[in-house]
């Protein structure tokens, strides 16, 4: 069949001088109707005419009864598998400023810095909330003298934060029976807990 032969010839077509390594990758659609072979090709603008000429020659040499109709289309940009997905930002009601305190290493004083910063801002008259995101070793309750306190919910089913020294705080430490209780959460469950701390606390 002529169409199969044409595709085979396009496959073997040398287009490296036009910076096209795989000729078949430029063919996006091929249909034959009433003696016309309709081709949709995706190539850079600067080589369109050269590609069109070479493929038209292939068609004419293979079957003179087929009339080529070549249309150029835009190729969709390739997706980078390593590209980070775009995450839409979600605002936290009532919060104007967020100061993150983080480190890729444990035991460097993140909780100490965060606690002192919260106390200092509170003394400046700011309304301060402290979220202890250390799920596996929460120490903020101990630092702020609220060890053993337990969380409760209001009538709107929102978590009521523990408050001391004028600072409202939320921590995994308020949910555990003791500091030594291990937390084995991973993945989705862990993220669900952090989301709840962010968005479900009054």
Q: Are residues 115 and 185 in the same domain?
A: yes
Per-residue pLDDT band for 1 (boundaries 50, 70, 90) equals: low
The conformation of residue 187, written as its DSSP 8-state character, comes to H
Bigger pLDDT: 91 vs 41? 41
Find the helix or strand (DSSP H, E) in which 141 lies.
Answer: helix 140-143
Q: What is the CATH number of the domain that holds 60?
A: 3.30.70.1770
Q: Are residues 143 and 190 in the same domain?
A: yes
Domain assignment of residue 90, yes or no: no
Domain count, the chain: 2
Residues 6+ apart with CB under 8 A from 18: 43, 47, 50, 51
Domain boundary among 54, 72, 90: 72
Domain boundary among 53, 72, 91: 72
Domain assignment of residue 103, yes or no: no
Domain assignment of residue 144, yes or no: yes
pLDDT in tens, 149-159: 888 888 888 88
CA distances from 35 to 55, 63, 64, 68 (A): 16, 10, 10, 9
pLDDT in tens, 168-193: 999 888 887 766 666 666 777 778 88
Between CA 166 and CA 184 the distance in angstroms is 32
Domain boundary among 22, 51, 72: 72
Question: Hey, which residues does 38 pair with through a beta bridge?
Answer: 31, 69
Range of the domain at 149: 110-199
The pLDDT, as a whole number, for residue 48 is: 92
pTM for the full model?
A: 0.51
């952090």: which residue's tokens?
194
pLDDT in tens, 46-97: 999 999 999 999 888 888 888 899 999 987 666 666 666 666 677 787 888 8
Domain assignment of residue 55, yes or no: yes
The pLDDT, as a whole number, for residue 104 is: 81
């Amino acid at each position: 069949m002529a169409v199969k032969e044409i595709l085979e010839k396009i496959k073997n077509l040398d287009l490296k001088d036009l910076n096209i390594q795989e000729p078949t990758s430029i063919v996006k659609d091929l249909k034959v109707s009433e003696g016309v072979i309709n081709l949709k090709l995706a190539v850079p603008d600067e080589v369109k005419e050269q590609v069109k000429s070479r493929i038209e020659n292939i068609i004419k040499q293979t079957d003179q009864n087929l009339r080529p109709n070549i249309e150029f289309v835009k190729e969709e940009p390739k997706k980078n598998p390593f590209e980070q997905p775009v995450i839409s930002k979600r605002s936290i009601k009532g919060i104007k400023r967020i100061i993150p305190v983080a480190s890729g290493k444990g035991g460097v004083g993140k909780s100490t810095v965060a606690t002192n910063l919260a106390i200092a801002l509170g003394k400046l008259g700011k309304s301060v909330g402290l979220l202890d995101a250390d799920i596996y070793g929460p120490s903020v309750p101990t630092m702020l003298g609220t060890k053993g306190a337990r969380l409760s919910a209001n009538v709107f089913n929102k978590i009521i934060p523990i408050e001391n020294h004028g600072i409202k705080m939320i921590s995994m430490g308020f949910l555990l029976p003791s500091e030594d209780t291990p937390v084995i959460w991973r993945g989705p469950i862990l993220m669900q807990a952090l989301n709840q701390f962010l968005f479900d606390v009054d």
